[in-house]
Chains A and B, each alone.
Chain A
Amino acid sequence: MRRLPVYFLLDTSGSMYGEPIHALNNALSGMINTLRQDPQALDSLWISIITFDRDVNEVCPLTELAMFQLPEITCPQSGPTHTGKALELLYTKVQSDIKKSTENQKGDWKPLLFLFTDGKPSDIQLYNEIAPKVRNLNFGAIVACAAGNLADDSKLKVLTDDVVHLDNADSATLKQFFKWVSETIEQGNKSQGTGESVALPPPPSEITLVI
């Protein structure tokens, strides 16, 4: 049956060290718990997590929600933000993970991508090269989330029009953001309006949505 693959690209560069990385871990585990209480999500959702700092790690390959084990996300005390390199890995992963439709087999739903960062890409050249390519892959939605005043919304606009800006990366804000993420993931299963195509649900009021 069709799967709904969801990729999380998480910034674990030095600036996340300390409270922000704790807040991120809490928010992620809250989101996974919420999704695990949703029979619809358990029916189709597959999740992958890729982290990026100096190195890029696929900390969880694409895994069915019920089987998913959330690892502790850690980060070095300092170091660059290799967003470009992360997108490069994502680009190859998406190509190999996603089941395409054939005459005889139903393919996966279009995947979703959530990118979370609190800074600017350090590998700007690679980033500028790969971001449009990722954008042109057949994603159902790409949401980039920029947290704090160091994050650069304009760079993220190369990747997607849906940029959410969080004022900071504290516990409450992240929790609310990931609650919104789970609502976005779950919305395909809800009652559909009589109007035209479904857009992202409105983000919580504390968040600025840059469109």
Chain B
Amino acid sequence: MSTITVKSILNGASYQYVDTGEPKSGTAKNVYFSPDKKYVVAIFKEKQDFNQLDRLKRIASVQLERIKKMDGGDFFLDEIFRWPTDVIEYNGKTGIIVPIYKSNYFFKKGYSSQDLIKGEEKNGKWFAGAKFRNKQFPLSLDNSELGNWLNYFQICVNICRGVKKLHQMGLAHSDLSYNNVLVDPINKSAVIIDLDGMVVPGVYPAEVIGTADFIAPEVLATKHLSITDPNRKLPNIRTDLHALPVLIYMFLLHRHPLKGGKVHDLDTEKDDLLSMGEKALFIEHPRDKSNRPKMNQVSKWDQYWSDIDKLPYTITGPYLKPLFDKAFIDGLHNPMARPTAEEWETALLKTSDLVQTCGNSSCEQKWYVFDNTNTPKCPFCGTKHQGTLPVLDFYSQFKEGVWKPENHRLMVYNNQYLFQWHVNKNIIRNERLTAAQKVPVGYFTFHNNKWVFVNQKLTSLVDKTENIDIPIGGMLELADGKQILLSKEEGGRVMLITLANK
């Protein structure tokens, strides 16, 4: 074991790493820790050519400076990305300096039955697949690592925000996959890693076509063509927008959207290439049902999540369903039709307003999306909702005296909060919210057999149906058909109350 000092080729800064002789070895790089464990030195196994070196230098300098200066730059660099901060050379090899992952991205327990992966990185694959959540599987993850269903929405939001930011900068990740995100379902966070291969069309060409399961169909379908052939498709922003919904689908439904039962060729490799490439077909396509999973051919560990009749993608709710349709039906072979990262982010956030807690305390998912019926039940364990269920629909002023629905709904549950972004349409729920805007303005509770809203911060809350002002500290009852003005300020919304499950 020895400590090695290396020098930046950008600015002469020096770094140290501990060489144990057994670095963590990835596809392209060996990774060593600094003595203080604040950063890693990732050294490329292969010699980097002029263009590769140029790409690394720009990512660690020009692009890093750009993102630092952007709105919310610190948030992205701290929470969403592990962005290379410098480039070094040592013994003729090139390396990059990358800030270390936060400690919550390492397993505290890992498998429930043994310590084999305790302390290892929480690679996204652990949480995308179904096996590791199946208690019967000999190497299933401990309950303390899995989190509940709602937490995976926040994980997906983080990934969407990262992809959105890269795309705003004109960069494509180019190899987005569960191997290149670390997720923490307990603290509801995710971080995007391996940013050194980013693509700018025409400036830095793609080095990889991606990771199996995530490569866009057009890239696989033209893989056999020469790299100089104008018809060859390589990773770009639009292929990221295929990989992103595959990740979201997998984190929420724990199965792959294109891996169904349809056989295209008797040769395994050719079949795989066709079913992920040229002939790719959504397993839940509403009209073409030829690629539906065949339950008798699915691994016994994956049965629960593979059943698209019991857990169809529509359980992700009314905002995500149309986006999955766009991504896996309209846009599967038409890259321009794929939804943007921001559309996914918005739909995920709106969906988190539609969730209900499951009444069954041993339900593994704990949350589900309201299914818009009068007698909702949890799709995961089948438990029916008990008691009335207030549904709030938001309206905003279109012109004087005319209020229009915004296709945004909030489901109420006990101790649910109301936030600024519900009250005023000019406040948008995204990573740029200030700390003050993240403070709830009131909460909902079931009190003396009635649903009530308690006002904590709203200065001009009016119960329009009864025509009374509700001061801070006051409360109003949620009764069927009531109209509530949340704010008299510009952009203030009205909410309409419906009581379901009566």
Could you tell me if B268 and A1 are in contact, using CB atoms closer than 8 angstroms? no
Q: How far is the CB of B355 from chain A (nearest CB, A)?
A: 27
Could you tell me if B123 and A109 are in contact, using CB atoms closer than 8 angstroms? no
B65 at the interface (CB under 8 A from A): no
Complex Cα spacing A37 to B125, Å: 12
A2 at the interface (CB under 8 A from B): yes
Could you tell me if B206 and A108 are in contact, using CB atoms closer than 8 angstroms? no
A residues less than 8 Å from B169 (CB atoms): none
A residues less than 8 Å from B25 (CB atoms): 183
A residues less than 8 Å from B267 (CB atoms): 101
Q: How far is the CB of B51 from chain A (nearest CB, A)?
A: 13
Complex Cα spacing A43 to B256, Å: 13
Which single member of A36, A107, A187, A193 contacts B268 (CB below 8 Å)? A107
Given A40-B125, A189-B211, A191-B211, A1 and B259 touching (CB < 8 A)?
yes
A110 at the interface (CB under 8 A from B): yes
Q: For chain A residues 65-121, which have a beta carbon within 8 Å of chain B?
A: 66-67, 100-110
Complex Cα spacing A30 to B161, Å: 39
Could you tell me if B207 and A39 are in contact, using CB atoms closer than 8 angstroms? no
Task: Name the segment of B291-299, B340-348, B410-418, B434-442 touching the other chain.
Answer: B291-299
A residues less than 8 Å from B126 (CB atoms): 39
Given A1-B298, A33-B116, A37-B120, A42 and B208 touching (CB < 8 A)?
no
Interface of B (DSSP majority class):
loop
Could you tell me if A189 and B268 are in contact, using CB atoms closer than 8 angstroms? no
Interface residues on B, range: 35 or more
Q: How far is the CB of A191 from chain B (nearest CB, A)?
A: 4
A136 at the interface (CB under 8 A from B): no
B residues less than 8 Å from A108 (CB atoms): 268
| Of A1, A103, A109, most B-chain CB atoms within 10 Å | A1
Residues of B in contact with A (beta carbons under 8 Å apart): 25-28, 116-117, 120, 123, 125-126, 129, 131-132, 137-139, 175, 177, 179, 197, 206-212, 215, 227, 234, 259, 261, 263, 265-269, 271-272, 294, 297-299, 302
Taking A1-B297, A191-B175, A192-B210 as given, write out 8 further A-B residue pairs in contact, using a Cβ cutoff of 8 Å, ordered by the A residue number: A36-B139, A37-B120, A39-B123, A101-B263, A101-B266, A101-B271, A102-B266, A194-B209
Can you pick out 28 interface pairs between chain A and chain B where the beta carbons lie within 8 Å of each other? A1-B302, A2-B272, A33-B116, A36-B116, A37-B117, A39-B123, A40-B125, A42-B132, A43-B129, A66-B131, A101-B266, A102-B266, A104-B263, A105-B263, A106-B268, A106-B271, A106-B297, A107-B271, A109-B268, A110-B269, A189-B211, A191-B175, A191-B177, A191-B179, A192-B210, A192-B211, A194-B227, A194-B234
